[in-house]
Homo-oligomer: A and B are copies of this chain.
């Protein structure tokens, strides 16, 4: 009996010891939670989708309330604009893009001696969060009728005016607060085409984020070339040796970087093609650029250009006193 019990005890002891060792090994392994993550990730993306939809709906009905509530970083979009026949059309479709983007603040800067009623009324009815500014380009820097568009860079003064407003706004807020510390600045011309995904790509910019731009510079696209997660050079058809051969539509900067570099601005006297570089070159190095849009493999913005409409019949009718009613805004 004595022996039997001992044997049983020993056996049991051995077996349970092995079990204990196994259990301890399991505990030591930290835990592989990847598979476990999947449903949570799915829940998160589902919830985000639902939130986005609701925000959309709410934005339609009450634009300002909804945008105040989110904790997303603000995207400040600076857009230079000038009076021309297609201006209202261009602003219309651009505003429709922006209406889909949560937490976007549009800084629209007119190249004009004063704010125009057309733009003021348009913005007031847009449903967007916006700031309306104006800054006239000095005559000597302006393109003259008939000049090729590449002769002088356009929109430098207006973008600088947008930057000035941002710095002033931030200073007034003591440089603090969620709408400042995490915010992003993007320069969006009023004739380009922007996918909605682009804005989510740029939203968490640390310093300067970059991505391809379609249909620009005589190319299907220009883009930063990425190797091992870093930008190493640029795919462009013209002077790749420029400090930053990137189109205005191809980068976003954090507001923090703008505030940390109070002198950074666009040089309206810069040689054509060097306007972007004049702003970026003292703020960031190529190595620091943050490649977005699937490591610069996706085109999410297009450098579209709208034709100047011909007005031949209008002119002929005006001569006959039969021109289109000037009281109807186009």
Q: Which A positions have Cβ atoms within 8 angstroms of B? A: 1-2, 5-6, 8-9, 12-13, 16, 19-20, 23, 26, 30-33, 36-37, 40-41, 43-44, 46-48, 50-51, 53-55, 57-58, 60-62, 65-66, 69-71, 85-86, 88-90, 92-93, 96-97, 99-100, 193-196, 212, 214-215, 217-221, 223, 235, 237-238, 297-299, 302-307, 309-314, 316-317, 323-324, 328-330
Are B89 and A304 interface neighbours, CB within 8 A?
yes
A9-B9, A32-B31, A47-B44 as given contacts; A305 in contact with B307, CB under 8 Å: yes
Are B193 and A93 interface neighbours, CB within 8 A?
yes
Chain B neighbourhood of A309, CB < 8 A: 215, 218, 303-305
Are B55 and A312 interface neighbours, CB within 8 A?
no
For A36, the closest partner residue in chain B by CB is B33
Are A57 and B57 interface neighbours, CB within 8 A?
no
Are A221 and B65 interface neighbours, CB within 8 A?
no
How many copies of this chain does the complex contain? 2
A-B contact pairs, 6 of them (CB 8 A): A12-B12, A12-B16, A23-B26, A50-B69, A50-B70, A51-B51
Chain B neighbourhood of A96, CB < 8 A: 93, 96-97, 100, 196
**Partner among B66, B71, B88, B313 whose Cβ is within 8 Å of the Cβ of A217:** B313
Chain B neighbourhood of A37, CB < 8 A: 33, 40
**Partner among B2, B89, B214 whose Cβ is within 8 Å of the Cβ of A215:** B89
Chain B neighbourhood of A317, CB < 8 A: 219, 237
Chain B neighbourhood of A88, CB < 8 A: 302
Bound complex: CA of A325 vs CA of B314, how far in Å?
Answer: 44
Bound complex: CA of A9 vs CA of B12, how far in Å?
Answer: 9
Chain B neighbourhood of A58, CB < 8 A: 54, 57-58
Are A314 and B237 interface neighbours, CB within 8 A?
yes
For A307, the closest partner residue in chain B by CB is B305
**Partner among B19, B40, B65 whose Cβ is within 8 Å of the Cβ of A44:** B40
Chain B neighbourhood of A212, CB < 8 A: 328
Bound complex: CA of A155 vs CA of B254, how far in Å?
Answer: 45
- Considering the complex of A and B, which 8 residue pairs feature the smallest CB-CB distances, nearest first? A237-B313, A218-B313, A89-B302, A47-B47, A33-B33, A89-B193, A305-B307, A220-B324
Chain B neighbourhood of A310, CB < 8 A: 218
For A213, the closest partner residue in chain B by CB is B330
Chain B neighbourhood of A93, CB < 8 A: 93, 96-97, 193-194
